[in-house]
A = this chain, B = another copy of it.
Amino acid sequence: MHPSLLQDAGCPKEIPHNEKLLSLKYESLDYDNSENQLFLEEERRMSFLGFKCLEISRWVICGLIGFLTGLIACCIDIAVENLAGVKYFVVKQNIEKFTEVGGLSISLILWAVLNAAFVMVGAIIVAFFEPGAAGSGIPQIKCYLNGVKIPRVVRLKTLVVKVCGVICSVAGGLAVGKEGPMIHSGAVVAAGVSQGRSTSLKKDFKIFEYFRRDTEKRDFVSAGAAAGVSAAFGAPVGGVLFSLEEGASFWNQMLTWRIFFASMISTFTLNFFLSIYNKKPGDLSSPGLINFGRFESDVSGLLGALFNILNYWLTIFRIRYVHRPCLQVMEAMLVGAVTATVSFAMIYFSNDCQPLGPDQSEDYPLQLFCADGEYNSMATAFFNTPERSVRSLFHNPPGSYNPLTLSLFTLTYFFLACWTYGLTVSAGVFIPSLLIGAAWGRLFGILLASITPDGSVSVGGYMTSLWGYMTSLWGGIVRMTLSLTVIMVEATGNVTYGLPIMLVLLTAKIVGDYFVEGLYDIHIKLQSVPFLHLEAPATSHWLTAREVMSAPVTCFNRIEKVGTIVDVLSNTSTNHNGFPVVVPVAASDDMGKVCGLILRSQLIVLLKHKVFVELARSRLTQRKLQLKDFRDAYPRFPPIQSIHVSQDERECMMDLTEFMNPTPYTVPQETSLPRVFKLFRALGLRHLVVVDSENRVVGLVTRKDLARYHLGKHGLEEMQLAQT
């Protein structure tokens, strides 16, 4: 999603920028516990009380996550408000000074420079210190919850850069929101708090050690993302749904939509017939909405698709040509300056003056060339943080804006927002799309009023259509489902619009999906992330595990020579992460029978602690390794190169029995792809061993083997693997 993510190792020669490629650099998270002997022993040793304590500490951690996320959101809010306040105050003073004496170009330059300066700071810290903090962070969190380990996405440094970055970009007047970064922040907080230590700060509090594994961490990260949504939109239930939609392995989105559809029809039918029975036909809560849903949200779906396509091309351009940090910073500054210039020009050439009423809610009303007691209406939209502009557009009485202002604003802001998303700054797309939607909604409301015979539209219908527009554009861009409705309902505090909002979202999604995927999905694809959707492609019953799996597989014996293990792990050309452990079949040079699965990370820890069986001596000399050793090393296991194994040690043996997962999930090789997919996805697997009828290893299915297949225009397509 972020071009900068690709900068990991300098500037790779071949950058995957094609959605037909799958990158191999992303590893999977292991949502399936490795139930080895150590783990089982610990679980069996633990009393019922022990489990209760664990349960309580989970609640405590969730409380902490919520608290810290709220605090961070609060800091961002306050910082943005103050910085933007200072900026607009300075610029306003300047404009007022020069309006009379002439020479407004100085004001323009001041504004542009201020913007560019803020944006520069924001872009520099992102581009040079932590490229992972770029963008909204929502695609990354989506991937993380899907089970893909995006490098450095939940680190403390990312959090710091993200928070500072978003403050700078919003204060810098970019067409961005701060909601996405808040969600990302919540996730980082969760990943940190739940581990009871900070690897970056080298501080271990020696608590919550039980939670140091992917399974538990992912659960907490989903809580963190929910807390972020909750802080960003004031929508706790929406937050939960967001996390579940993205995180729950078995949440079937299509099914959810269908269920919702049935629910809506049911409520509607009931209300319709009851209203007829009560002799007030048409007295539904919002009658005109069915029409609205049919037509205008089609348009929103189209607009959203247009936004996504433009942004898609832009992103490809960026991946190809704007991948140096300094270029990225310069682009961001350019956008900042252009935003200021365009805004200024808009305000300057607009002659839409509105009286400054006593109920004036503008923070920085610009008089400019208007008469005394009036203000420039265009300035309420442009000379403000996007969030406040939304509020103005929504709350100002009808007639505050003339159609020309609105249409110019909508058009300009659409392209600005589209250009801005994907810049190397920390920023979200929610508020801009809401803003465009709101402006467009107002515009359409005015047009509608001028067409209708009596020249007026009911306030209720007008407001609803505003909500509808705001949501539908957002929906058209991001294509989220149930959670979006609930977030909108909670954010607006008005449940009445829930039904129309959902209808609008549904239409926008269907129309938009016809042309192009959602914005987040586009960015995920462009990064070649092996993202697993809920189900295998419909027409993939042709494929079986035999065709899908990777083979041959590197296997280890139960008792394996250290040298062999080191060699396999050091082989950068294969770079496998999981190895079946086998029992050799007597009198045969075939593959052995599978008896376990061991992970690279486990082997690394074993090698680091030199858990070798000196064949000659008794086993008693072996240092007894604890689960704690594995947990201490989690999640940043050292690379194999950093572990020194002497020539003597290479001849030693290692007994893997105790450490391997003795009951890995296996499937026969005739299993169909949808079946393999279901198992993999439902259990959150990282490796699935494929066996023959004799229980011998014939292959291994990993995430990239499954993510390779997708449904194209002409049926099933297979993606290529990229090595970057």
Which A residues contact B (CB, under 8 angstroms)? 33, 35, 40, 43-44, 46-48, 51, 55, 58-59, 62-63, 65-67, 69-71, 73-74, 77-78, 186, 190, 219, 222-224, 226-231, 234-237, 239-241, 243-244, 248-252, 254-256, 258-274, 277, 482, 485-486, 489-490, 492-496, 498-499, 502, 538-539, 541-542, 583, 593, 595, 662-663, 665-668, 670-672, 675, 678-679, 682-683, 691, 693-695, 711, 715
Residues of chain B within 8 A (CB-CB) of A69 are: 262, 266, 269
Residues of chain B within 8 A (CB-CB) of A71 are: 269-270, 273
With A44-B541, A682-B250 as contacts: A226 and B495 at CB distance below 8 Å: no
Expressed in whole angstroms, the minimum distance between the Cβ of A84 and any Cβ of chain B is 15
Bound CA–CA A390/B338 (angstroms): 60
With A493-B496, A498-B490 as contacts: A264 and B249 at CB distance below 8 Å: no
Bound CA–CA A548/B230 (angstroms): 43
B62 contacts A485, C-beta separation under 8 Å: no
Residues of chain B within 8 A (CB-CB) of A486 are: 237, 486
A270 contacts B73, C-beta separation under 8 Å: yes
Residues of chain B within 8 A (CB-CB) of A190 are: 262
Q: Which of B248, B250, B266, B490 contacts A231 (CB 8 A)?
A: B266
A593 contacts B693, C-beta separation under 8 Å: yes
Bound CA–CA A274/B270 (angstroms): 43
Instruction: Name the CB-closest residue of B to A669.
Output: B663
Residues of chain B within 8 A (CB-CB) of A236 are: 260, 263-264, 266-267, 498-499, 502
Bound CA–CA A279/B665 (angstroms): 58
Bound CA–CA A539/B499 (angstroms): 45
Q: Which of B40, B226, B235, B493 contacts A259 (CB 8 A)?
A: B226
Q: Which of B35, B226, B482, B675 contacts A262 (CB 8 A)?
A: B226
B244 contacts A256, C-beta separation under 8 Å: yes
B237 contacts A260, C-beta separation under 8 Å: yes
With A222-B259, A224-B262, A240-B263 as contacts: A43 and B541 at CB distance below 8 Å: yes
A260 contacts B226, C-beta separation under 8 Å: yes
Q: Which of B270, B541, B542 contacts A74 (CB 8 A)?
A: B270
Residues of chain B within 8 A (CB-CB) of A226 are: 259-260, 262-263
Residues of chain B within 8 A (CB-CB) of A260 are: 226, 236-237, 239-240
Bound CA–CA A542/B51 (angstroms): 14
A715 contacts B48, C-beta separation under 8 Å: yes
Residues of chain B within 8 A (CB-CB) of A47 are: 539
Residues of chain B within 8 A (CB-CB) of A40 are: 541, 672
Number of copies: 2
Bound CA–CA A242/B44 (angstroms): 35
A495 contacts B499, C-beta separation under 8 Å: no
Bound CA–CA A161/B469 (angstroms): 45
Residues of chain B within 8 A (CB-CB) of A266 are: 65-67, 69-70, 73, 186, 227-228, 230-231, 236, 239
B495 contacts A267, C-beta separation under 8 Å: no
* 8 CB-based A-B contacts, threshold 8 Å: A35-B672, A70-B270, A78-B274, A230-B264, A236-B260, A240-B256, A244-B251, A583-B693
Residues of chain B within 8 A (CB-CB) of A259 are: 62, 222-223, 226, 239-240, 243-244
Which of A51, A671, A695 gathers the greatest number of chain B CB atoms within 10 Å? A695
Expressed in whole angstroms, the minimum distance between the Cβ of A487 and any Cβ of chain B is 11
Expressed in whole angstroms, the minimum distance between the Cβ of A591 and any Cβ of chain B is 14
B264 contacts A66, C-beta separation under 8 Å: yes
A269 contacts B539, C-beta separation under 8 Å: no
With A67-B269, A240-B256 as contacts: A262 and B223 at CB distance below 8 Å: yes
A683 contacts B693, C-beta separation under 8 Å: no
Bound CA–CA A420/B711 (angstroms): 55
Bound CA–CA A48/B219 (angstroms): 36
Expressed in whole angstroms, the minimum distance between the Cβ of A64 and any Cβ of chain B is 8
Instruction: Name the CB-closest residue of B to A258.
Output: B62
Having A51-B539, A234-B267, A240-B482, one finds 12 other A-B pairs with CB under 8 Å, namely: A48-B538, A48-B711, A63-B262, A66-B268, A73-B266, A222-B255, A226-B263, A230-B264, A236-B498, A239-B266, A241-B241, A250-B251
Residues of chain B within 8 A (CB-CB) of A495 are: 489-490, 492-495
B74 contacts A274, C-beta separation under 8 Å: yes
Instruction: Name the CB-closest residue of B to A78.
Output: B277
B70 contacts A268, C-beta separation under 8 Å: yes
Residues of chain B within 8 A (CB-CB) of A230 are: 262-264, 266-267
Bound CA–CA A252/B260 (angstroms): 20
Bound CA–CA A578/B620 (angstroms): 48
